[in-house]
């Protein structure tokens, strides 16, 4: 029994250590390496371009879609020097190549999004919903991209169109100036923002009034202090 009791905290620590830290990256003007030249790699190019990344693709074979994108191409196998001055890496090649990329990147403390290859990944892309400058991302830690996609679709169906969210953001900008000048606490800011949303949206979302009354969070959820 004592051994089991001792093992439980160890397992808990192990699970906690694997928890993901959600973050959004500013890649504009920064070098990003994509290893792989097939359709999977091609599917990552548009999102990186939208973020303004300086993209280099390295692979022995390159599909036409990547060639048409206009990104920098090195048609050859991956070499460790390809990681020089790189901020972020996408590995979309074979598991063997992805593993080599992951090992080299680990030595340089670079994060690698190994597509559909969790053992070689240190970064996972989520299912993304965008409404103007508002972005929601969903991740399953690489376990089930299909589930992440379903969750993304559910959120997408719930949120209103971009024009509505843009109005919320504009009201948030105006409120933020007042909050900063008057020192309104973060918890109260969330309540006021929820009230703005409730006035415009509660008729379309079941349970919205209850959410608005708690400032947009459940009773056990702590308020964020640095949300943007």
**Which residues make Cβ contacts (< 8 Å) with residue 3, sequence separation at least 6?**
none
Q: Is the pLDDT of residue 217 over 90?
A: no
State pTM to two decimals.
0.71
Q: Is the pLDDT of residue 149 over 70?
A: yes
Q: What is the largest CA-CA distance in the chain?
A: 63
The predicted pLDDT at position 201 comes to: 66
DSSP 21-66: -------TT-EEEEE--SHHHHHHHHHHHHTT-EEEEE-SS--HHH
- Fold assignment, 31-125: Rossmann fold (3.40.50)
42, 34 contact by CB (below 8 A)? no
The per-residue pLDDT of the chain, averaged, comes to 83
The predicted pLDDT at position 214 comes to: 52
Q: Give the residue extent of every domain in the chain.
A: 31-125, 127-159, 162-201
- Quick: pLDDT tens for 31-48: 999 999 999 999 999 999
- Quick: pLDDT tens for 104-119: 999 999 999 998 898 9
Task: With cut-offs at 50, 70 and 90, classify the pLDDT of residue 1.
Answer: very low
Task: With cut-offs at 50, 70 and 90, classify the pLDDT of residue 187.
Answer: confident
């Amino acid at each position: 029994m004592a051994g089991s009791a001792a093992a439980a905290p160890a397992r808990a620590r192990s699970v906690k250590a694997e928890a993901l830290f959600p973050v959004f990256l500013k890649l504009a003007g920064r070098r990003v390496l994509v290893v792989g030249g097939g359709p999977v790699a091609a599917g990552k190019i548009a999102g990186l371009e939208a973020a303004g990344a300086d993209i280099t693709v390295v692979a022995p074979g390159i599909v036409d879609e990547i060639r048409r994108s206009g990104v920098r191409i090195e048609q050859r196998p991956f070499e460790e020097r390809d990681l020089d001055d790189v901020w972020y890496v996408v590995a979309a090649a074979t598991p063997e190549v992805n593993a080599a990329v992951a090992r080299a990147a680990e030595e340089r403390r670079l994060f690698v999004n190994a597509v559909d290859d969790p053992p070689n990944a240190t970064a996972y892309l989520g299912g993304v919903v965008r409404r103007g400058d508002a972005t929601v991302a969903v991740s399953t830690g690489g376990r089930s991209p299909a589930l992440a996609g379903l969750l993304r679709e559910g959120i997408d169906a719930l949120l209103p169109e971009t024009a509505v969210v843009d109005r919320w953001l504009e009201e948030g900008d105006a409120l933020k100036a007042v909050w900063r000048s008057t020192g309104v606490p973060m918890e109260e800011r969330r309540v006021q923002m929820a009230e703005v949303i409730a006035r415009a949206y509660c008729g379309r979302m079941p349970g919205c009034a209850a959410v608005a009354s708690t400032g947009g969070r459940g009773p056990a959820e702590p308020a964020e202090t640095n949300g943007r």
